[in-house]
A = this chain, B = another copy of it.
């Protein structure tokens, strides 16, 4: 960052309860800072084990300037390494996914085993130490079948979340899901404008009529609370409704932020689908639809929405200061059979139509934020989750 002091001033001048100043969405310096302090530090959803069922399978997880190889090694473990040859820096894997016996760089044929160790490099002279030239590893953690990676030297801990939510993961069968669809939405706006959009439902009624017909969360806090009371009376078990708010500025020191909460759908709605009808088999150990859906978040950019019969994953990644992508993942129980238990177009309908609408909304937001006349505006009573994000974000930027 060229001007640390200027950033500090901006952060100190932030007015609580308001949106951010323009430069947070436009400055290349701030963007570079974010990449280092957030995207090279926090845990990010990389994908799902069903993408690499066999030893030797791999896929690439890419954002900003990074490409990370996620693979299954000979011990059947999931591994992650930076896709950069230690010789002259070429990408080693050039296909987005594949199956290999070893990772051989297409440029000069340096070859690495499935654990990233350099196993062959021609004509390197006698003083060359292969053991010092393995691929740079990334940290991997599995949450059920979800693969998270961290590029930090010393990642935040996921221990508290894993203990806290063990029963939840078990109930919804996090280890017994499969990924049935992934879709990438390109958004011509700074990643935070996309993330802030995801974090509040103040816009749901004006912008997402499909969502608003299913979810009580689109309603005002008063009306939402009435639905919550109704739902709590009707719903089946304590584990499904107990919130775990350890997200953003509420996270413990040294622990990655996370959140779990369960919210009511509107009356008679069973799933996130047209008419609220079931669209797949019940997940995990569930035995009935209870009329709710769960929000689950791990780290700052990975979000999940768990219906009783399917789960949607949301991941926000920057590609430049002015562009980002939103990847959406659809999961069903691994016993569900396509065209018998679920139809793909019905399964993805709600969050495809909703994300497409958000693409437009977020770009319109960006256009106005770029104006010299834009000033931070006051947040509403339905933007408190976003406020937690902003507090954490500014804190994170100002940390050494």
Partner of A361, one of B82, B83, B107, B367: B107
A377 within 8 A of B: yes
CB distance from A321 to the nearest CB of B (A): 14
| B contact residues around A379 at 8 Å (CB) | 88
Cα distance A202–B377 when bound, in Å?
51
CB distance from A347 to the nearest CB of B (A): 28
| B contact residues around A382 at 8 Å (CB) | 123
Partner of A380, one of B91, B94, B124: B124
Known interface pairs A106-B207, A123-B221, A368-B83; A89-B19 also in contact (CB < 8 Å): yes
Known interface pairs A108-B206, A109-B206; A90-B368 also in contact (CB < 8 Å): yes
A62 and chain B: residue at smallest CB distance: B367
Interface 1/0s, chain A 123-163, versus B by CB < 8 A? 11100100001001000000000000000000000000000
A395 within 8 A of B: no
In the complex, the answer to whether B124 meets A378 with C-beta atoms within 8 Å is: yes
In the complex, the answer to whether B371 meets A66 with C-beta atoms within 8 Å is: yes
A67 within 8 A of B: yes
Cα distance A94–B366 when bound, in Å?
12
In the complex, the answer to whether B128 meets A378 with C-beta atoms within 8 Å is: yes
A122 within 8 A of B: yes
Which residues of A, 341-400, contact B by the 8 Å Cβ criterion?
360-361, 364-365, 367-375, 377-382
| B contact residues around A101 at 8 Å (CB) | none
| B contact residues around A124 at 8 Å (CB) | 378, 380-381
A96 within 8 A of B: no
Which residues of A, 66-108, contact B by the 8 Å Cβ criterion?
66-67, 82-92, 94, 105-108
| B contact residues around A27 at 8 Å (CB) | none
Cα distance A221–B124 when bound, in Å?
12
Known interface pairs A91-B364, A380-B122, A381-B125; A374-B84 also in contact (CB < 8 Å): yes
A40 and chain B: residue at smallest CB distance: B372
A203 within 8 A of B: yes
In the complex, the answer to whether B65 meets A372 with C-beta atoms within 8 Å is: yes
A205 within 8 A of B: yes
CB distance from A195 to the nearest CB of B (A): 13
CB distance from A375 to the nearest CB of B (A): 8
Partner of A365, one of B40, B90, B133, B372: B90
In the complex, the answer to whether A371 meets B90 with C-beta atoms within 8 Å is: no
A184 within 8 A of B: no
CB distance from A318 to the nearest CB of B (A): 13
In the complex, the answer to whether B368 meets A203 with C-beta atoms within 8 Å is: no
CB distance from A135 to the nearest CB of B (A): 9
In the complex, the answer to whether A364 meets B90 with C-beta atoms within 8 Å is: yes
| B contact residues around A268 at 8 Å (CB) | none
Residues of chain A at the chain B interface (Cβ within 8 Å): 19, 35-36, 40, 65-67, 82-92, 94, 105-109, 121-125, 128, 133, 136, 196, 202-203, 205-207, 220-221, 360-361, 364-365, 367-375, 377-382
Q: List 15 A-B contacts (CB under 8 A).
A: A19-B87, A66-B371, A67-B371, A83-B368, A83-B371, A87-B377, A88-B379, A89-B369, A89-B377, A90-B361, A90-B367, A91-B364, A91-B368, A107-B206, A123-B381
Given known contacts A83-B368, A124-B380, A124-B381, what 8 new A-B pairs fall within 8 Å (CB)? Answer: A19-B87, A19-B88, A82-B373, A90-B367, A91-B364, A92-B368, A123-B381, A133-B378
